[in-house]
Structure 1
Amino acid sequence: MQGVIDHLDHLETLGITAIYFTPVFKATTNHKYDTIDYMNVDPHFGDNALLKKLVDRCHERGIRVLLDAVFNHSGYYFPPFQDVLERQENSKYKDWFHLPQFPVTSDPQPNYRTFAFEPKMPKINTENPEVRAYFLEVARYWIEDIGVDGWRLDVANEVDHAFWREFRHVVKDVNPDAYILGEVWHESGPWLQGDQFDAVMNYPFTNAVLDYFCKQRIDRTTFQQRIERLLVTYPEQTTNAAFNLLDSHDTARLLTLCENDKEKMKQAVLFQFTFPGTPCVYYGDEVGLDGGHDPAAGKRWNGTRKNKTTTYSRSTRR
């Protein structure tokens, strides 16, 4: 986090008005999507006081800060889940997770529900009142006490709608202008009725732009049809709040998707920045960082390029 503070001049020069961080909470992995402490910043990044300092410095420059919340699943070493493993059916947290049988075990494979069949990420039961109260307090704390400006919600389509409605009420009660962004990879009407999210990660837009400009898999007519479908799927105000990205921590980098063709990349970005919604630049794209799907590493190219940007994504690769 101190590194981001040290480079705020650079981000302000680029025209950045918001920074989205992938998870910063305490976890055991590099990607931090296996949260074990939702109320404290991971020591790899700093601490809560340093995050508060970062938020304050960003606000001084008119830059907002968006955090990533993982409420669909926890990490294996999340204390409530460890209590379940230790006390089994006598654990007071046994209803916090989806546990069809006891004893709970991950060997040779988990006999509890998980995210993506990963035993280190047990799925959370957000229908449980205690669970809802806990995570709604998490949502409130970071907005009210630390001052962050919104949430990006991981695996949002796998969490029940009732929880997200409560979540929106709590967040908007603290900060009516807070931005609530869901990770949904397909058309997302059920989440965009005004009672849950302000926007979703607009991957249908992403795929249309990549297929036309970068991969050249579709012709102009097909591209036009796919874009027009997006424009008529949602109300205008929803389209204007859309989170339009071309790459992220979950994908290969844009330059690599363009086969290192900088002209293709520029055309894709030009369309992104002239289309209704909020353009997101994945950190490093502004200097031509490339890289495939994990574990492929990125590298810099020797050219330079300047972009005016309104949203900036800084994260670890997952």
Structure 2
Amino acid sequence: MMKDIQNRNWAVDSVIYQIFPDRFCNGDLSNDPPHLESWGNKPTTDNFFGGDLKGIQTKLDYLVDLGIDCIYLNPIFKAATNHRYDTVDYYQIDPALGSNSEFKEFIKALHDRGIKLILDGVFNHCSNQNSAFLDVVDHGKNSKFLDWFTINSLPISVNPLNYATCGGCFYLPKLNHANPQVVQCLLDVGTFWLREYGIDGWRLDTPQRVPKDFWKKFRHETRKASPDCYLVGEFWRESSEWVREGIFDGCTNYPLRELIIAFFSERSLDAEDFSYEIESLLSRLDSAGYTMINLLGCHDTPRIRTIFGAEDQDLISAIVFQMTFIGIPLVYYGDEIGMTGGRDPDCRRTMEWDDSKWNKQIHTLYKNLIGIRKQHQSLRKGSFQPLAAFDSFFAFKRQIGNEEIIVLVNPGPAVVDIRIPPQSDKSEWISLLSPEIKYQTEDGYLILDRFKRNDWLILLGKL
């Protein structure tokens, strides 16, 4: 397991930036879909805003400046919806986003800047406009694709629905993975974009709905195509067994997100309970924790700033924890500038490019924390050790070799006097954001008086 992690060091060392393509930036007006919504208007389940690959490409310098070195794109293959989880053609970039040749140019622009690319693979289901499904609609029992789907009766009917779907959505017919032709088709898709275009990984949608045997084959074939390919499964529950069994390299760490919200925002956990839950989660994850995707928000959740409400300082403490904890941080586009939004589709608003409307404090924080994470290996690959947990105060240490970093957060109302043993031979602890701030250990203890609500520190130990 650890050898596999080392083989994909690029992922462990990364900070991932998630982009919902239609909502990031419109860089090519010539490929705009009809009835385009004005940028900045309210998103709905059906409207389009014209974001495309060229638009993302024009903003790469912004992402490099932020410190991003990996982009995860929501689906980009030809589809009928704005979210594109309904794949019409697995081999064609959606024309509203660009062409296949433009995608090749896009990847080159990323790689020239040292940015990796993870695509969203939707292999549980496809679109009802996919040519295979349309063939079943047109030819019924004579269709050579009849067994590519689970059809209960013919002819195909939407009301009543007489074929298996994803989540009961008529436009998302479920693929039949018991059919070897379906399996081979999807394996070919997975390796095609690795070999022919040089993508760096796949984020795999709803993998629990697909037999594990398929994913084992998918891993084997993608490894042959690209040994450094990073595979991450989308799971809403604790799912480390998929990593331990060698199926995926990482999974989405929604359980961690729930704990962060419970401690830093809802206050339903005190520091002692939070510490216990964090250690319990890490014990289940084991070494898989290093390759999990630690996210605060995504296209399926309310914006993290909306969840925290007016308490930006509480959110700041949560971001500090996310960026210094074990695992790979993911930033959902716009979270770094304090964008708000409720449940889907409101969380999929267009990116705000007027920097006068940005939350500059949050943006600067993200930039600084990403920089610190990149400079210090202990924050990416080091061990995790809780040092203190009481009231709303929590402190932990990350360490690799001789490098030791202590992180302290206090999101609650209590003003606390801190006396914690760093369990280290370091005698001085220096703030990584403000090096002029230094603390000396006294009789083996790190002592900080009057640590107030929303105070936080990231300290590097020095002999």
TM-score (norm 1): 0.93
Structure 1: unaligned runs, 5 residues or longer: 312-318
Percent identity over the alignment is 39
Q: How does 1:108-257 map to 2 (within 5 A)?
A: 108-236=159-287, 238-257=288-307
Q: Does 1:24 align with 2:76?
A: yes
- Kindly state the Cα deviation for residue 135 of structure 1 after the two structures are TM-superposed: 0.7
Greater than 3 Å deviation, 4+ residue runs? 297-302, 308-311
Q: How does 1:29-108 map to 2 (within 5 A)?
A: 29-106=81-158, 108=159
After superposition, give the CA deviation of every residue in 1:64-85 in whole Å (9 maximum; x if it has no partner): 0000010001111011011111
Larger radius of gyration: 2
Q: What is the DSSP-based 3-state SS (H/G/I as helix, E as strand, rest coil) of the residue aligned with 1:121? A: coil
Alignment root-mean-square deviation, CA:
1.6
Q: What is the DSSP-based 3-state SS (H/G/I as helix, E as strand, rest coil) of the residue aligned with 1:164? A: helix
In the alignment, the residues of structure 1 paired with residue 215 and residue 336 of structure 2 have an alpha-carbon distance, to the nearest angstrom, of: 34
Higher deviation after alignment, 49-58 or 158-167:
49-58
Residue identity in the other structure for 2:134 = Q
In the alignment, the residues of structure 2 paired with residue 144 and residue 269 of structure 1 have an alpha-carbon distance, to the nearest angstrom, of: 36
In the alignment, the residues of structure 2 paired with residue 48 and residue 127 of structure 1 have an alpha-carbon distance, to the nearest angstrom, of: 31
In the alignment, the residues of structure 2 paired with residue 89 and residue 260 of structure 1 have an alpha-carbon distance, to the nearest angstrom, of: 58
Note if contact 1:215-1:257 (Cα within 8 Å) is conserved in structure 2.
no
In the alignment, the residues of structure 1 paired with residue 129 and residue 273 of structure 2 have an alpha-carbon distance, to the nearest angstrom, of: 47
Q: What is the DSSP-based 3-state SS (H/G/I as helix, E as strand, rest coil) of the residue aligned with 2:72? A: strand
In the alignment, the residues of structure 2 paired with residue 152 and residue 235 of structure 1 have an alpha-carbon distance, to the nearest angstrom, of: 21
Where relative contact order (Cα < 8 A, 6+ residues apart) is larger, the structure is 1
In the alignment, the residues of structure 2 paired with residue 139 and residue 52 of structure 1 have an alpha-carbon distance, to the nearest angstrom, of: 16
Residue identity in the other structure for 1:183 = E
Q: What is the DSSP-based 3-state SS (H/G/I as helix, E as strand, rest coil) of the residue aligned with 1:281? A: strand
Residue identity in the other structure for 1:245 = L
Hey, which of these two has a bigger chunk of strand by percent? 2
Residue identity in the other structure for 1:189 = S
**Structure 1 residues 130 and 9: alpha-carbon distance in aligned structure 2, compared to 1, 3 A threshold:** same
In the alignment, the residues of structure 2 paired with residue 295 and residue 140 of structure 1 have an alpha-carbon distance, to the nearest angstrom, of: 32
Q: Does 1:261 align with 2:311?
A: yes
After superposition, give the CA deviation of every residue in 1:59-106 in whole Å (9 maximum; x if it has no partner): 111110000010001111011011111111111111111112223211
Q: What is the DSSP-based 3-state SS (H/G/I as helix, E as strand, rest coil) of the residue aligned with 1:39? A: strand
- Kindly state the Cα deviation for residue 6 of structure 1 after the two structures are TM-superposed: 0.9
In the alignment, the residues of structure 2 paired with residue 12 and residue 235 of structure 1 have an alpha-carbon distance, to the nearest angstrom, of: 32
Residue identity in the other structure for 1:39 = Y
Note if contact 2:240-2:251 (Cα within 8 Å) is conserved in structure 1.
no
TM-score (norm 2): 0.65
